[in-house]
Amino acid sequence: MKGESPGARLWVTYFTDGTPATLEVGQTLKATWVVTPRGVAVTPTSARGLRVGLFDSSGGRRIRADGFSTGSGDGAPGAGIRGYMLNMNVATTFTVDTPMEWFERTAVTDANLMGSAAVFTRLGDAGPEGLLEKPAFVDDTAYTLELSATRVDETSVRLTAAWRGGGIDIAHSVVDVEDPTTAFDTFAIRPAGSAQAAAFWDTTQVKIEIIPASSPGVSGTP
C-alpha cells in the first residue's frame, strides 16, 4: 500500500471479524508494520508527527468505506474506542531527545480517533533518552515498527514499541495500571503530513499476532 500524506491522513484496518481478541494473562498482541517513507522532513514542524495505535473498536462503530470523516460527525471512527497510541518523532535527524511517547485513549466518547492529543493521556515518560540530533529516518529505506501489548497480570498491561531499519534500533516501554485495555481489533496509522513527518509511506506488511506467554524473544513479554 502506497500512502500519500501531504496533509494529515488516517488509515485504519481491522484484524478480527468483529469480536476483539482478548489477551489472557501472559499473552502478547504484536503488530508489525513494515514501511518505507519518502520525503522525510528535515526540520518537522511537529515534535512528533506520526501516530500509530492499537485499539478496541467494539464499543463504537467500524469504518465501512474510504472517504470517512476523521474528526467529527456520524462517520468519524473515534466514539466508544479504547486503546493506545504511539506518538513518534519522524525526521532525518531526531529533533527531540526522547522521540517516542505512549498514550492511552481516555476521552472515549470523542469522535476524533487520533487527531487530537486532548483525547489521550500520556503513560509514563517519553523515551528512549539521548537521541536529539542523532541520525533518524532516511528516504527510500525500509523500517519495521513492532507494537506490542502484553497482559502482565489482571490489572496491568505492558506496552512496547521498537523501530528497526537503516541506522535505527530503538525501543520504549511503559506499563498501564489504570483500567488497561486488554482486547484489540484495530490497527491505525495517522501521519500528520509532509511538513511534520514524511510525504509518502509505502507499506509492505502489516501483521498481527497473538504470542503465547511461553514464547521467548518477544518484546514486552514478561
- Supply the pLDDT for residue 193: 82
- Supply the pLDDT for residue 221: 37
Tens of pLDDT, residue by residue over 136-173, are 999 999 999 999 999 999 999 999 999 999 999 999 99
- The residues of the chain scoring below 50 in pLDDT are 217, 219-222
- Supply the pLDDT for residue 220: 42
- Supply the pLDDT for residue 4: 59
Domain ranges of the chain: 2-211
Fold topology of 2-211: Jelly Rolls (2.60.120)
Place of cell 498514550: 103
Q: How far apart are CA 98 and CA 18, in angstroms?
A: 36
Within 10 angstroms of residue 177's Cβ, the number of other Cβ atoms is 12
Q: How far is CA 24 from CA 41, 84, 151, 156, 166, in A?
A: 40, 18, 7, 11, 35
Within 10 angstroms of residue 138's Cβ, the number of other Cβ atoms is 17
Pairing outcome for strands 156-165 and 21-22: unpaired
Within 10 angstroms of residue 70's Cβ, the number of other Cβ atoms is 20
pTM for the whole structure: 0.91
